[in-house]
Structure 1
């Protein structure tokens, strides 16, 4: 008997949501399958139909977020005048803030930041090379620096009580980038 895809997706989401409610308050090694299934209203065997363990839930959640980043159209990642995807990244971060603020925060998964950078860096590099930047070690390190700064500032923004609006943040980052890192990237063109 085939399962209804909508019910299957909802069950997976319910288990993920139950996991997440624990993950935002406790370390992953302290989360049990028993408490996830109890909170979600399922039994352990249902959990194991979707996940192997709590680390698998986290990995699938992270993979879903990264796939959303990779699904962004290339033109959204970069405009001809600005090779750094400030607005697109801020919007993506804002749309998924309930997860990203935690995953990239003090109690999140340290490997997740590396995975985010690894997924977007090649797209940015390709765009910059097409726009005339010289491919090499300087571009690679500049992109690493820029992405680390962007992820850091977005994490900081989400943890501030009196944070500026998304439009003000995008404008500020645009100014900082054009005067600093992006100016450097643009100087790499030949």
Structure 2
């Protein structure tokens, strides 16, 4: 008898949720499949229907987040006169639960690089459409801007008395108008 797709999806999500609860407090190399399955209420064989190991759970979770970040509407990005901080910060804020851990001290160091690699081509295309010259300088300036933005977001996520999202967007806009966007295009 075939399993219903909605049950299969829910089982997989339950395993991911159980992994995530553990991952938020424990380094990945210390997490066991037994911990995940016990917390989710399944057996090991169910786990192996969806994942090869704990690293596969993390990879699938990260892949899903990167996919969602890549779905950022290009219209929102292309209407801004400055580096499109509002659209990007809003999107990151929506996924804060995951990003504050993945981009934090206990997170996956490679994840930040994967985010930049996924966003850079879209941002580069947008900047070229706005008049930037496609060159090694644009590539390095874009790397710098994305690294700074991800760094600021990581810092913001982990602050107890962080400013509101509106104040953060305003600050990033000020920084942008003071030269980041001009330097990217120029």
Same fold, judged at TM 0.5 (above):
yes
Structure 2 gap ranges (5+): none
Q: Name the structure 1 match of 2:179.
A: 180
SS of the residue corresponding to residue 114 of structure 1 reads: helix
The residue number in structure 1 matching 2:32 is 32
1:180 is paired with a residue of what secondary structure? helix
8 A contact 2:70–2:119 mirrored in 1: yes
Structure 2 length-normalised TM: 0.97
| Aligned twin of 1:16 | 16
Gaps of 5+ in 1: none
1:164 aligned residue? 163
1:66-105 map, 5 Å? 66-82=66-82, 84-105=83-104
RMSD: 1.0
CA contact (8 A) 2:72 2:91 kept: no
Quote how far apart the aligned CAs of 1:80 are: 4.6
Q: How many residues align?
A: 186
Question: 1:111 aligned to 2:116?
Answer: no
Query: Structure 1 length normalisation: TM-score?
Result: 0.95
Distance 1:59 1:153 in 2: 24
Shift of 1:78: 3.2
Name whichever of 42-51 and 173-182 sits farther off: 173-182
